[in-house]
Structure 1
Amino acid sequence: MINIPRPRKVRRIGCRPQFMNFGPQGPNYNNEIITLKIEEYESIRLMDLKNLDQSACAELMGIGRSTFQRIYKEARTKIADSIVNGKRLIIEAEQFDHPGGKGHCHRHFKGNDF
């Protein structure tokens, strides 16, 4: 029997990041770079900034709650590593879907160009 994984769902992102690059300043910072996926960025935005629960976040992103939990945990780990260890954090644009309509972030979306 051949084990073929299910195709990865395209995550819905409600607001494109305005800033994509964060990091420490000064001569003694760590040169390592941590890449935060766009879906991880969205999980932080929804949970920590919008104060939504995991079920609501998962629904908005078009994924299951357990998938959302995994994405959110990974995002927090990466952000903590960046802050504690002085590493640069870059938000990586990857394929995503924007639902438009309610919750549309007009300030950041001038078309789905990344």
Structure 2
Amino acid sequence: MARTLSARDITILKKLAPEWEGADCSESGTAYRSILPPVANHYATDAADFRRRCERLTAEELADLLALIDAGEESLCCLRQDYFTELYGMTAAVLGDDAAAALLTAYRTADDCFI
């Protein structure tokens, strides 16, 4: 389900991609509707860079993102597998195996891609 990013979402997006200038997506011309796909697809140079960016998040911010994923408000299907693997590993390290397992289930069942 696509959404309009909240002030909290924008704060997280800016933390993950400080070079983002708050403009619309350069490719589609529309506002971002998710956090992780734009970071992975427009700002991170590779999977390792994506992980470094995600490591900037506090445990609370990461948990907030996972709650959005669980609610169907944050897209995962636009993440390449190698990028997802980095997010999965970081989630296990920061929030534990149960959180990582829930994230994996969400990734496997994701069928809508909105950036």
* TM-score normalised per structure 2: 0.30
Say which one has the larger Rg.
1
Which structure features the higher share of helix residues? 2
* TM-score normalised per structure 1: 0.30
